[in-house]
Structure 1
Amino acid sequence: MAGIYICFGNDYANPNRPFKGTSMIELLNTYTVVDIETTGLDSHFDEIIEIAAIQVSNGQEINRFNSLVKPNQEISTFISELTGITNEMVENSPGIDVVLPQFLSFIGTSVLVAHNANFDVNFIYDFTRLLDLPPLKNDFIDTLRLSRRIFPNWDNHKLQTLVNNLNISDTVEHRALSDCVNTHLCFESMKGYISANNLSLDTLWEHYGTMSKRIHAQTDQFDLDSPVYGRVFAFTGTLEKMPRKDAMQLVVNAGGICGDGVTQKTNFLVLGNNDYCKAIKGGKSSKQKKAEKLQIDGYDITTISENVFYDMIGAENLMGGD
């Protein structure tokens, strides 16, 4: 996959995904759990370094797929510390052009289950586009979305938190296959919790949108399932598509919160596309270094590019898309 390292964000930003599957709200017994590990969070700049899947029938694992992937760019020290995947580990692994067709064959048309599913689905979809493969059309269920509705009072809904609070395991290894195993167990546990407590999906998904006093939004109708709702954002660098104040307005209009700097309460640090590209090549701002340190220390914070921010907020529709 020559050339993936090139920063081609201007031409590939905010890709339309016309064949992307639907985010479902179902408690299925037959599905396929998927997870990927990557060199970063932006499919326009970053690469997949591990991909895994577990086929589930009647709630039980029946088959699994797992492969390391050799990227064209170096794996950064931060990603190695986060995932445990080093450049030496992937040196003799196949490239994504070999692994992804095998993965797509394994999952077939199954409904997918993943934690923070839009990340995995969008990343895989974009690489099918890049490699001229059939697009990923599978519908999917997001355990992050489900857990936020079932356990709204938890401090966060990271996979590690679910695993701990649902007594799945004491630790989480940040690797694709182990994340699949834990996501499968968490999904089955949440299904059991819903049944044991006589909850219904209709009740869990009732819309209670009211405007928080701390959010100065231009609407009081919030989508509680949005990945932006209730999350704290900080920005650094110059945005390509709009002034920072307009991006901050989009956040609060979606029920999110904007902060001036990076703190332990920050959930997302947004880098302008040019700054994200520079960061891949080794230049990082003090905000980004602080965010990475907090993430390594276990805080619920992630650094994302401007492109990923627009994906999260649906801003490509506001800007007319590509």
Structure 2
Amino acid sequence: MTVKVVSGQLEFTNQNLANKLRKKGHELVTFLDDYTMLDIETTGLSPYRDRITELAGIKVRNGKVVAEYSQLVKYPKDNKVSRFITKLNGIDEALILANGMPVKEAITEFRNFIGEDVIVGYNVNFDLNFIYDLCEKFQLKKLSNDYIDVLHFSRVFFKKESHNRLLDCIQRLGISESEAHRGLKDSLDTKAVFDIYRNQFTTEMLNEVKDNLKSCVLTEEIPFEYLIKRNPFKNKTVVFAGTVNKEELALIVSNMGGQVREHVDSTIDYLVMGDKDFFSKSNSELQKARRLISEGIKISRLSESFFLDMLDSWARS
């Protein structure tokens, strides 16, 4: 098996593993006149555990906004929102119940709004994961559109800065003093940032953005500059158990600066199991992990699919 990171996208030649990855598009480094800028609000950071609360975007033609979309999203069973999120963006359960559109209808409308456009966003891989999964759930057209991540442009434009959140950039560029954390306003702010970059970026700066995108073979030695940036497995210990494809994935963890152990103990950071093993009562490593967790030891239990998603997110970060 060969595992490659090409232009920020993880690619497996092992078809079984490849089928467990989201089939998202490729990242582009360019300025376009026509695209859809999008931003979502959610109840948390994980598309596996959390929900979209708001879908929003703007359609751009010849550099001008020609259409807008903004919709709160309502679910059949659970519409609770944590106090932290409500304080951040003002969205709470009462607002969703009063103004939300049923999730299937909302994601269908939004997928049609995006169409075949190149997608632009800020740290856009986060948004893509949530939207991709909802499209899959309701059997809509796969979200395989190519995309542009404005965050990667910011890291070159403000290369001496350690933080380049959307808030940081709109303040530095005089666009706004605060980030709304509401989808439509944040989409418009991101477009304003992108427009400034369009006018001020040089060819050399664009090439630097391209050079910063990861490109390597994970089963071989990985360039040092990739390993030091947002690497989830550097200096972490991992155990693979059950039906997971251990040999190849263990090699990747080692190449990324992690350590692979045979058995679970109190020093382990991650236990990775086959998707069908996640709730197994016969998996001895899982039982040991559960016991240690009950004693207060922090061990993250991951399915193989979730583990691959972590790799893919790292490749696109």
What range describes the TM-score normalised by the shorter chain of this pair?
Answer: 0.5 to 0.7
Partner of 2:34: 30
Supply the AA of the counterpart residue of 1:199. Answer: E
Q: Is 1:82 the equivalent of 2:84?
A: no
Q: Looking at CA atoms only, which structure, 1 or 2, has the larger radius of gyration?
A: 2
Q: Is 1:97 the equivalent of 2:104?
A: yes
* Alpha-carbon distance, 1:207 to partner: 6.0
Note the 1:268-279 alignment, pairs <5 A.
Answer: none
Match of 1:205 among 198, 207, 210: 210
Match of 1:127 among 97, 122, 134: 134
Do the aligned partners of residues 56 and 222 (structure 1) sit closer, same or farther apart at CA in structure 2, a change above 3 Å counting? farther
Q: Retained in 1: the 8 A contact 2:136–2:142?
A: yes
* Alpha-carbon distance, 1:50 to partner: 0.1
Aligned equivalents of 2:55 and 2:175: distance in 1? 22
| Aligned residues: CA RMSD | 4.2
Supply the AA of the counterpart residue of 2:134. Answer: F
Do the aligned partners of residues 109 and 168 (structure 1) sit closer, same or farther apart at CA in structure 2, a change above 3 Å counting? same
Aligned equivalents of 1:239 and 1:90: distance in 2? 41
> Which SS does the other structure have where 1:16 is aligned?
coil
Do the aligned partners of residues 310 and 83 (structure 1) sit closer, same or farther apart at CA in structure 2, a change above 3 Å counting? farther
Supply the AA of the counterpart residue of 1:188. Answer: D
* Alpha-carbon distance, 1:134 to partner: 1.5
Match of 2:150 among 140, 143, 147: 143
Which structure would you say has the larger RCO, counting Cα contacts within 8 Å and 6 or more residues apart? 2
Partner of 1:311: 309
Match of 1:50 among 46, 50, 54: 54
Do the aligned partners of residues 223 and 50 (structure 1) sit closer, same or farther apart at CA in structure 2, a change above 3 Å counting? farther
Supply the AA of the counterpart residue of 2:97. Answer: E
> Which SS does the other structure have where 2:67 is aligned?
strand
Q: Retained in 2: the 8 A contact 1:239–1:271?
A: yes
Partner of 1:230: 229
| Structure number with higher strand proportion | 2
Output one character per residue of 1:219-245: Cα deviation in whole Å (capped at 9) or x when no partner: 451575xxx752376989x99899xxx
Note the 1:272-311 alignment, pairs <5 A.
Answer: 310-311=308-309
* Alpha-carbon distance, 1:149 to partner: 2.9
Match of 1:180 among 176, 187, 193: 187
Output one character per residue of 1:20-76: Cα deviation in whole Å (capped at 9) or x when no partner: 211111111211101111112222222111000101122221210000011332212
Note the 1:231-250 alignment, pairs <5 A.
Answer: 231=230
Aligned equivalents of 2:173 and 2:162: distance in 1? 14
Q: Retained in 1: the 8 A contact 2:20–2:308?
A: no
Do the aligned partners of residues 47 and 61 (structure 1) sit closer, same or farther apart at CA in structure 2, a change above 3 Å counting? same
Aligned equivalents of 1:110 and 1:78: distance in 2? 33
Do the aligned partners of residues 270 and 76 (structure 1) sit closer, same or farther apart at CA in structure 2, a change above 3 Å counting? farther
Do the aligned partners of residues 272 and 166 (structure 1) sit closer, same or farther apart at CA in structure 2, a change above 3 Å counting? farther
Aligned equivalents of 1:248 and 1:78: distance in 2? 37
Supply the AA of the counterpart residue of 1:119. Answer: F
* Alpha-carbon distance, 1:105 to partner: 1.2
Aligned equivalents of 2:198 and 2:32: distance in 1? 9
Output one character per residue of 1:243-272: Cα deviation in whole Å (capped at 9) or x when no partner: xxxx9996795589xxxxxxxxxxxx9999
Aligned equivalents of 2:229 and 2:211: distance in 1? 17
* Alpha-carbon distance, 1:79 to partner: 2.1
Supply the AA of the counterpart residue of 2:56. Answer: A
Q: Retained in 2: the 8 A contact 1:229–1:254?
A: no
Q: Retained in 2: the 8 A contact 1:150–1:204?
A: no
Partner of 1:221: 223
Greater CA deviation, 47-56 or 148-157?
Answer: 148-157
Q: Retained in 1: the 8 A contact 2:232–2:314?
A: no
Q: Retained in 2: the 8 A contact 1:310–1:316?
A: no
Aligned equivalents of 1:138 and 1:315: distance in 2? 17
Aligned equivalents of 1:125 and 1:253: distance in 2? 29
TM-score calculated relative to the size of structure 1 = 0.64
Query: How many residues align structurally?
Result: 255
Aligned equivalents of 1:29 and 1:315: distance in 2? 27
Output one character per residue of 1:256-302: Cα deviation in whole Å (capped at 9) or x when no partner: 9xxxxxxxxxxxx999999xxxxxxxxxx999xxxxxxxxxxxxxxx
Do the aligned partners of residues 255 and 26 (structure 1) sit closer, same or farther apart at CA in structure 2, a change above 3 Å counting? farther
* Alpha-carbon distance, 1:106 to partner: 1.2
Partner of 2:21: 16
